[in-house]
Amino acid sequence: MNLRERWKVGGFQAAAYDYAVQNPYLSRLGARLLWNYDITHLRQNIAAQDPSALTLDIPCGGGVAFGDNPRHVGVDLSWTMLTRARRKTSTLLQADVYALPFPTDTFDACVTYNGLHCLTDPPAAIAEMARVLRPGGTLRGTTIVRGTSRDRVIRHMQRRGLFGPSGTADDVRTWLTSAGLTSIELTRSGAMTGFTARK
C-alpha cells in the first residue's frame, strides 16, 4: 500500500494519531519525546488565525485547528479523520491536496498543521495551496523536518510508510519560495518547523 492509500484508508493509525493530538497531556508528552517539540508553539500558531477569514485547513485531521470560525473549511484525504472532525464542524470535504476542487484565488488563508511530512510531494502540495490563496492571503503551518536530532525517528516513520520524503527547514523555505510566496517566516522547535508566508 502506498503512502497516499495508507493515510486514506488507514483507520486505526489515523484515529490513534488524532486521539493523541486532541489530548492535551498526550500531545504535549508525545511532541516532547518524539520530536523535542514544545507543542505550545502549535497552539499559539492556531490561536493566531484570523477568526473571520475564509480559511482552508488541509489536511484538517480531526479538527485540532477549527476554533469558532464559521468560514473554516476542513479538507482531508482520510475518511476516518473527516468522520472525527464532524464532531466539531460540518464544513468538510474529502479531497486530494494535489488537486483541490476550488478555483484559483479563493481563500483568505490556508493552514496545514503537521501534515506536509506525511505527503509524497510536499512542494507540489504547497504549490496547490498557494494556487487557491487569494493575493495577499496567508499560508500558515507546521511540519517535521530532517536535519535535527530526530532524523532516526523520521527514518523509522518512513520505513513504516507513515512519512513521505520530508525535507529540511531550508527545503521548506525553498518550497514556499518556489510556490511564489513571500514574507516567509520560519520558527524552529526541535524537529518541528512552523512557517508563515504570504501570496
Three-state DSSP class for residue 109: strand
Q: Characterise 169 by phi-psi region: left (phi > 0), alpha (psi -120 to 50), beta (else).
A: alpha
Buried/exposed 138-149: b ≥16 CB within 10 Å, e otherwise: bbbbbbbbbbbe
Residue 184 has pLDDT above 70, yes or no: yes
Please give the pLDDT value at position 4.
Answer: 61
C-alpha distances out from residue 40 to 29, 43, 118, Å: 11, 5, 21
Which residues does 72 contact at the CB level (< 8 Å), separation at least 6? 55, 57, 65, 66, 89, 91
Please give the pLDDT value at position 112.
Answer: 97
DSSP state of 49: S
Tell me the residue type at 94.
Q
Please give the pLDDT value at position 153.
Answer: 95
**Least confidently predicted of 13-22, 28-37, 124-133, 136-145:** 13-22
Please give the pLDDT value at position 20.
Answer: 74
CATH top-level class for 3-198? alpha beta
Residue 15 has pLDDT above 80, yes or no: no
Instruction: Name 93's bridge partners.
Output: 75
Looking at residues 49-54, what average pLDDT do you find? 92
CA dist., res. 71 & res. 69, Å (int): 5
Domain locations in the chain as residue ranges: 3-198
Please give the pLDDT value at position 6.
Answer: 59
CA dist., res. 145 & res. 57, Å (int): 20
Please give the pLDDT value at position 44.
Answer: 87
**Least confidently predicted of 8-12, 148-152, 189-193:** 8-12
- Dihedral of CA 9/75/148/43: which sign? negative
The residue among 5, 36, 11 whose CA lies nearest residue 161 is: 5
The residue among 143, 98, 155, 100 whose CA lies nearest residue 118 is: 143
The CB-based long-range contact list for 14-20 (8 Å cut-off, 24+ gap) reads: 14/78, 14/80, 14/81, 14/84, 15/80, 15/84, 17/61, 18/61, 18/62, 18/64, 18/80, 18/81, 18/84
Residue 10 has pLDDT above 80, yes or no: no
Please give the pLDDT value at position 18.
Answer: 72
Q: Residue written as cell 516567509?
A: 184
Three-state DSSP class for residue 31: helix
Residue 87 has pLDDT above 90, yes or no: no
pTM higher than 0.85? yes
